Structure 1
Amino acid sequence: MDFKDRLKTARRHAGLNQTELAKRCGMTQTSISDLERGKSVSTSFVANLAYACGVDPLWLANGAGQMIPAPAPKVAEASLFGSIAPWDSDTPLENDEVTLPLFKEVELSAGSGSTQVLELPGRKIRLARSTLREAGVEPENAVIAIVSGNSMERLILDGAGIGIDRGTTHIMDGEIYAFDHDGMLRVKYLYRLPGGGLRLRSENSEEHPDEIYSAEQAANIRILGWVFWWSTVRRRRGAPLAR
């Protein structure tokens, strides 16, 4: 059984149509359709697809083992797999950790309102090497950025940190990319158009309709890389923000 057939079987096992599965995994229906027809061989989302369908990731990826994962042993009480540990710049790295530079949209001086996407000196984020390996990202190509706005909400919230693979700047239709658009840090689904143009699509399409750019206009868009990870800190309503 090929990957495309295993994916169809897994989706039907979960009782999902292509659109529902795409929503659960942060993908598009077209991407799911391409995978199920064998038109795409990308395995970047295998873990997400397997989790959404309730099947074993190794089985979905290469057919190894059983489709349905063995149930976890029951325990009398819930247990924690680990704890959150505070750290600072002087805390030694664990064996499975790397520190990644942090980028942000920064307003330039002189009060012109112009911005530029810059690395913040001294600001780093820690990420597990295993996370990078699972996404197929080389550590030297990975950076973190902070996004703002609600155009990707339901998937990536305002203020989220995102992991960017700077080694992947070629556009695969329906994948999420971070890019510098005339000094503004933006995150969208990207689609190529005939003649070198681009379509930008937001998750929150009700408030942010598709944007179409000709090849000439797209020249002002600099692809920073493929977005492979995101994380958001939730704030209690009315709670003061830490400074």
Structure 2
Amino acid sequence: MDNDHSASGALSGAVPVVAYHPEEPLDDGEIEIPALNVAVGAGNRIHTEPVEEERRFRYSLEWVRRYGLKADKLIRYKVRGSSMDPFISDGSWITVEMGTTQVTDGSVYLLRYGDQISVKFLFRRYDGGLIVRSFNPSEPDVVVPAQDLEHIKVLGRVVESTNMLIKAIK
């Protein structure tokens, strides 16, 4: 069993890593999720900004089905800022199911608030408003009363993050 994909093989580093090139066709059961050329904020007063890398991420269609996601609504974004640290770190990628805007308390959403696009936890208030919460405890909650909801737009629900545990060297 030297060439298997068992846990012991993975722990020993014996599982082969296969590189692919973006121009290669997708395998059966694979989809590509676009990564938009913008970074979204996980901090105070961070606006969208260009990201130099333009990418597509390959996913298993089985993964999409398992979680009941809509493949054509999934988009990846780069995160900038520390308000969601360490849950979602600066430089991480998030996968957002765009158009999923029904707020479930404690879920993470991509939202537009004024001219900012941010990644935050959302909670419903008893009066119909929202609480916008960062993971980082040094960031205060933002309370959005029901009469001010016109200033906030939920763009989609964050369904996955790829959290960077190291800093880029370039």
TM interval, short-chain normalised: 0.7 to 0.9
Task: Report the alpha carbon displacement of residue 171 of structure 1 after superposing the two structures with TM.
Answer: 0.4
Distance 2:110 2:9 in 1: 44
1:217 maps onto 2:152 in alignment: no
Distance 1:97 1:233 in 2: 24
- The gaps in structure 1 that reach 5 residues or longer are 1-72, 107-112
Q: Which residue of 2 aligns with 1:101?
A: 34
Trace 1:66-145 onto structure 2 (pairs within 5 A): 78-80=11-13, 82-103=15-36, 104-105=38-39, 115=47, 123-145=55-77
Task: Report the alpha carbon displacement of residue 208 of structure 1 after superposing the two structures with TM.
Answer: 0.7
Structure possessing the higher radius of gyration over alpha carbons: 1
Distance 2:14 2:124 in 1: 42
TM score, norm. by length of structure 1? 0.55
Task: Report the alpha carbon displacement of residue 77 of structure 1 after superposing the two structures with TM.
Answer: 9.1
| Deviation per residue, 1:136-164 (Å, 9 max, x gap) | 20211211111111111121111111111
Partners of 1:117 and 1:184 within 8 A in 2? no
Task: Report the alpha carbon displacement of residue 198 of structure 1 after superposing the two structures with TM.
Answer: 0.8
| Deviation per residue, 1:4-60 (Å, 9 max, x gap) | xxxxxxxxxxxxxxxxxxxxxxxxxxxxxxxxxxxxxxxxxxxxxxxxxxxxxxxxx
Trace 1:53-64 onto structure 2 (pairs within 5 A): none
Trace 1:198-213 onto structure 2 (pairs within 5 A): 198-205=130-137, 207-213=138-144
Q: With a CA cutoff of 8 Å and minimum separation of 6, indicate the structure with the bigger relative contact order.
A: 2
Q: Which residue of 1 aligns with 2:160?
A: 229
Distance 2:75 2:130 in 1: 24
Give the aligned residue type for 1:176. Answer: V
**Aligned-partner SS, 2:80:** coil
CA shift in 2, pair 1:185/1:85, >3 Å: farther
Partners of 1:146 and 1:159 within 8 A in 2? yes
1:178 maps onto 2:113 in alignment: no
**Larger helix proportion, structure 1 or 2?**
1
- The gaps in structure 2 that reach 5 residues or longer are 1-5
Partners of 1:117 and 1:183 within 8 A in 2? no
Partners of 2:76 and 2:96 within 8 A in 1? yes
**Aligned-partner SS, 1:219:** helix
| Deviation per residue, 1:185-223 (Å, 9 max, x gap) | 211110112343110111112x11211012233322221
**Larger strand proportion, structure 1 or 2?**
2
Distance 2:163 2:7 in 1: 31
Q: Which residue of 2 aligns with 1:16?
A: none
